[in-house]
Amino acid sequence: MRLHVQLFSLSRNIRMLCGASLVVLLSLSCSSSLEPRAGVTVLVTNATCVPGPCSSQEILAFPAANQPNTPGGAWSLDLGIMTGSELCVTLPTSATLSINFTKIVWTNAMPVTLGTLPPSASRFMATSSTSSFVPATSDGWALTLPGAVEPIASPRCTP
C-alpha cells in the first residue's frame, strides 16, 4: 500500500511538472512577437502651410532597423507627395532592399522614422526627423511635418 501511495504521488508530481512546463512554453511562444499589420495609415499635417501657402513635401519612411551604410544615403520608402495642408498615406506591410546579393527586409512590426524632402531636392539629402515608432502597434498615426516630432497613435485615416 505504501509503494502504491508513493507511485501515485510521484505520478501526480510528474503530471504537474509537465503541465506547468507546457503553460510556460505556450506563453513564451505567443507573447513576444508582433506581427505586421495591413492598412496602417499616417495622417501627416503640412507645417509649411502656417502662416503662408503650403509647399510640397515628399513624405519618406526610414526603416530604423537594419539601415545599411550606403554611399547613396539612407534607405527610405517613398510614401507620397503632400501638396496641401495634410495627406493620409498607407504604410506598406513590408519592404525589401537588395544590395549586391544581400536582401534587407523591413516590416511595419519593426521601428521606422519619417521625414520630408522638397520634391526637387536630391534624395541624398533625405533624413528622418521624427522619433522612432513601430507602425503595427496602432491602426493609425498622426504627426506634423516637416519638424522633429513624435508620431501619435490615432484612428486610421482615409487615404
- The per-residue pLDDT for range 34-48, each reduced to its tens digit, is 999 999 999 999 999
How does strand 41-46 pair with strand 140-145?
parallel
Cβ atoms within 10 Å of 78's Cβ, excluding its own: 13
Cell 501619435 belongs to residue: 152
- Distance between CA atoms of 58 and 87, rounded to whole angstroms? 10
- Distance between CA atoms of 4 and 6, rounded to whole angstroms? 6
pLDDT bucket at 111, cuts 50 / 70 / 90: very high
pLDDT digits (tens, 9 = 90+) for 125-157: 888 999 999 999 999 999 999 988 899 999 999
pTM: 0.76
